[in-house]
Every structure is written in structure tokens, then in C-alpha cells.
Amino acid sequence: MTTPPTTTSTDPTDPAHPTDPTASAGPSPDPGRTGATRPREETDTSTIDGILARAAELDARDPLAALRDRFVPGDAEFVAYLDGNSLGRPLLATRERLARFVDDVWAPRLIRGWDEGWMDSPTTLGDTLGRLTLGAAPGQTVVADSTTVMLYKLARAAVTARPGRTEIVIDSENFPTDRYVLEGIAAETGTRLVWIDPDPLAGVTAEQVAAVTGPDTALVVLSHVAFKSGYLADAPAITAIAHRHGALVLWDLCHSAGVVPVELDAWDVDLAVGCTYKYLNGGPGSPAFGYVAQRLQSELRQPIQGWMGHAEPFTMGPGYTPGEGMRRFISGTPPVVGMLAMRDMLELIEEAGLDAVRTKSLALTAYVLELAETLLTRHGVEVTGPREPERRGGHVMLSHPAFRELVPRLWERGVIPDFRPPQGMRVGLSPLSTSFTEVARALLVVAEMLGARR
């Protein structure tokens, strides 16, 4: 194992930092070709200065680079934000929108606002979100609740809609909320969970789903992008397998919406849920979304029957009559303020184009893989996720026994990834707000800290 040279600077992000002749200079992914390799250009990435110059070249060629200026800058200690798949950065437009809402809408209109657009905001914003990020025709997406609540409502309704079927399929690597909610639904309905145990470095495959679905399967619940590894599941193939057995499928899109193109209608998906505070930049606690295919809406009866889902909410009479279409999947008062920030991000996604966002995302994740090979593998770091572009979501998981200890110290240095047990550091890359230079500076700090542990 090569020992890094002694230098006079302790900050590897300082352009005056001495060069490191031990860094690898192997072939690098080409962002324009979504991860394909090409011969190294003239920039010498065997040095720290060269790595930063290479990052600057990538930023200069990035057609979305100017959009980074639309986001509120970080604080004075900011080096790199690598957790955009947990909480997106706020837009400058959102600061203005929130102030305008207080001064121009909430204060002067008060309760009249409900008749002037607030009541319809879950479905109108849902249609916008569906059109721009989900491949969903109007009338199938609603913005409401938290992901946990929306997941419960749609999963519970799906199981009830398949009477006599006794099994729910889910995987052991799925996000805890999904597993916990399904455990509760199984207990309520007398069904049993059928567990898929995928390779943590990969994810759930169509073959694994085919092996456990059958005439007793009521529902299959999976994440489109695995929250740990970043593995991108084959949603069309898996959905088709479940349908062959008459089962319904619910996709968790928390790590897909806004960064990976999704085609729910074209894939014949039944149900989907997701959050809006990651790549949709809705802010902490912003509401979730739910998708129900139009062909199923009259068949499903959601279990949390609140007044806002009633056919005539202001009649306030006895008994519950569900509303038409997606209104029946609303329970309580719409989170109007919580919907404001995501409107700005949806406008930005529309301006950039989701395909361009995906291209930038693949370029960023390819660059993380390049730098991991160049800077980190010699310190024992492993890539614990897919390397193939077609199987990668918007983040990369790196693994090392020291990451539990190092991630809090990285935060103190202004480098913000997140930690996932047992020893994973997740590098989340929000394409519209993240630069290649940020990634380079961050992973140089990671390399320095790992080297200092020897």
C-alpha cells in the first residue's frame, strides 16, 4: 500500500497544495457518454492540482453549470454538499416566494385563499409533478401527507383490493419505513411478508421477484432506486412479472423523482409514492406524493378517511362518501406552505429538462467512481454499488470501516455526505446544484483524512 507524501499544506482543496505523485492516472469516465471510458486528455490527474484542473474542465463543459447560481449559497465553512439525496438545497426563488406568500397571499387573503387555489393544490401540483418527473398523465398524482402515511394508505388499499390473497412481497434491503409499514399492514390484514434478500451491492432483480410471486401475491413493494447502494431496479420488467400473477405493484420513488426519468404510465405501474425534499428540493418536511393509475382509482378505498377526501367536504354530514379520482386519496388539510418550495424546483427541472438532469447525474456519479479509484481505493475504500450507468441512480455508496468515525469530522470540515450503517458513506449528487469541483474537493479531503489515520 502506497504511503502519501508529506506536504506542507493540510488542506488538499487549496490550489497551492503540493502535488501527490501517488494518485492514479487511469482512464476516466466521459460525462457526455454516461460513464464510458476515454483516453486521458492532457490534464495530468496524478496531482492534486491536476485533479482540480480536471474538475474545472468538466464544469466548463457542463451545459447546466449556470443553474448552480440559482441556489442559496452555503455558509462560510462550505466545501461540498454531497447529501442532496437526503435534503435538497434551497433555491433563491424560494426565498422570494415564501416572503411573497406571507405578504401578498396569506396576510391579505386569509381564509379566502382556500377558494382561490389552495383546495385544489394537491391535485394541480400533483399533475405538474406527474408530468415533469413521473411520466404520469393528469388526474393520477396527488401531493399530500408524509411518505410514510401515503405509503400506508396506498399499500393498505391495494391489499384490501386483492381479497383472498395472503402474501406481500418486499425486500430486506428496502428503506426501514417501507419494511415497518408493511409489517404493520401484514399484522392488520392477516397476510404474511415474503422477503427477497438481494445482494446489497446490487439490488432486487426481476428474476428474484419472479421466484417469489404467484397466485397468493397481493402486492409487491420495492424501491426504484435502492437507498443504500443506488441500484436502479428494472421497474417495467418487475411490474410485468407481478401483473402476470394478478398482483399489484407499489414503487417507492423517493430516490428517483427529479433525478431519474420515470414512466409510470408507459410501464403500466399501479401505485407509487415518494418524497419531495430530496431531488425536488421541497424543504425539510415537505409533503409526499402518491400516484394511483386511473384504472384503479374507483377500485381502491383508502383507509384514512378524512374530510378532505369526501365527495362534498363542506357538507360535513354523516357517513363518508369518497371523492372522485385522486381526491379520494386525500385525508386531511393540504400542506399549502409545504408545497411552495417544490414549485420552484419543478420550474427549474422543466427549464433544464429531465433528460439533461439525468445526463449530468450520470456524469457526476461516474466522476465519483473515477476519483474513488484515483484517491480512495488505496486507503481500503470499496465501491458498494453498481458501476454500470444503466443500473445507477443518483448516488454512490462507498464503504470503509472508518466512515462511521470520519463522517462527523467531514461535516466539521464543510464536507457533507451521510453515513449509512454498517460502514457506508453515501455520496448524494443533486445535478442542478452540484459541481464537479465540489466533488473533487470533497473526495480530496476524504483521502487526506483516511491517509492521516495510518
Q: List residues with catalytic annotation.
A: 175, 252, 277-278, 426
Residue with cell 390473497: 165
Q: Are 334 and 119 a contacting pair, CB within 8 Å?
A: yes
Q: Are 432 and 67 a contacting pair, CB within 8 Å?
A: yes
Query: Cα 124–227–354 angle (5° rounding)?
Result: 45
d(CA 56, CA 41): 13
Residue with cell 449528487: 429
Residue 3, CB-side half-sphere exposure with 13 Å CA sphere: 6
What angle do the packed helices 48-61 and 354-371 form, to 10 degrees? 170
Residue type, 444: L
d(CA 411, CA 321): 51
Query: Omega before 422 cis (within 30°)?
Result: yes
Q: Which helix (H) or strand (E) holds 344?
A: helix 340-352
Residue with cell 494518485: 23
Chain-centroid distance of CA 296 in Å reads: 26
- Helices first, then strands: H and E counts in the chain: 12, 15
